[in-house]
Amino acid sequence: MKIRNVMKVLACLACAGTPLMADLVANGSFETGDFTGWTQGGSTGANYVTLGAFEGYTPHNGNYFAALGSVGADGTLSQALTTNLGQAYALTFDLASDGSTPNDFTVTFNHQIVFAQTNVRATSASAPYGYEHMTFTTVATSNLTPLIFSFRDDPGYLALDDVSVLAVTSATPEPTLSPLLFLGLSCMLIVRSRAWW
């Protein structure tokens, strides 16, 4: 077996030993065209998942986004995420505002308010309104972590897209790779020793 082939085998083994990160949020980009995966609460009358351009907004990615226009009281979107106690998780999402007031937007993650703002300013000078990317990290305090968006925009809409929660992985190599590396080095030594004979 040539060294190049050994390296290919090692690369495959390393990939097999590294788990892929799964997004914990169902339908975080609203690409189902509706609120599938989300629980709606509060004032829900003027909240929509929209296709393409709507009220000065376009999707951040994909074809759909959530237009949040609860009037008179906050509406909510929530999910209960299955997490591992003590594991760090990163919440990311993209938010846009046309600056119409009164409005408010609050995010609760892992029983903590990570973002709260009244009268969110316009995210662009004019339509189409751009998105601001937001990131928050927390350590799960239980095996079920709530994610709740609360919002209101009496005269207009706020736009939400690309909601994601991923486990934060350590930068150090996983212990499961050590035996694979040892195996690979052993194979390389055997191949080299054969070449010298």
Q: Could you read off the pLDDT of 2-28 as tens digits, one per residue?
A: 444 444 444 444 444 444 579 999 999
**Is residue 174 in some structural domain?**
no
135 and 86 together in one domain: yes
DSSP 8-class letter at 183: H
Percent of the chain with pLDDT over 90: 73
* Domain CATH number, residue 65: 2.60.120.260
Start-end of H helices in the chain: 3-16, 177-196
**Is residue 82 in some structural domain?**
yes
133 and 59 together in one domain: yes
Answer whether residue 156 shows pLDDT above 90: yes
186 and 129 together in one domain: no
83 and 3 together in one domain: no
The predicted structure's pLDDT at residue 21: 73
Between 127 and 39, residue with greater pLDDT: 39
**Is residue 173 in some structural domain?**
no
48 and 2 together in one domain: no
115 and 194 together in one domain: no
* Tally of domains in the chain: 2
Percent of the chain with pLDDT over 70: 76
Ranges of beta strands (E only) in the chain are 39-42, 47-51, 64-68, 75-82, 88-97, 103-109, 112-118, 132-139, 144-153, 158-167
Q: CA-to-CA distance for 158 and 69, rounded, in angstroms?
A: 6
**Is residue 50 in some structural domain?**
yes
Q: Which domain holds residue 8?
A: 1-20+179-197
Q: CA-to-CA distance for 192 and 141, rounded, in angstroms?
A: 51
**Is residue 14 in some structural domain?**
yes
100 and 189 together in one domain: no
Residues whose CB falls within 8 Å of the CB of residue 196, separated by 6 or more in sequence, listed in order: none
Task: Tell me the whole-structure pTM to 2 decimals.
Answer: 0.77
184 and 147 together in one domain: no
Q: What sign results for the dihedral spanned by CA atoms 51, 56, 62, 68? A: negative
Cβ 62 vs Cβ 94: under 8 Å: no
What average pLDDT score do residues 159-184 get?
A: 70
The predicted structure's pLDDT at residue 13: 42
**Is residue 119 in some structural domain?**
yes
63 and 133 together in one domain: yes
90 and 145 together in one domain: yes
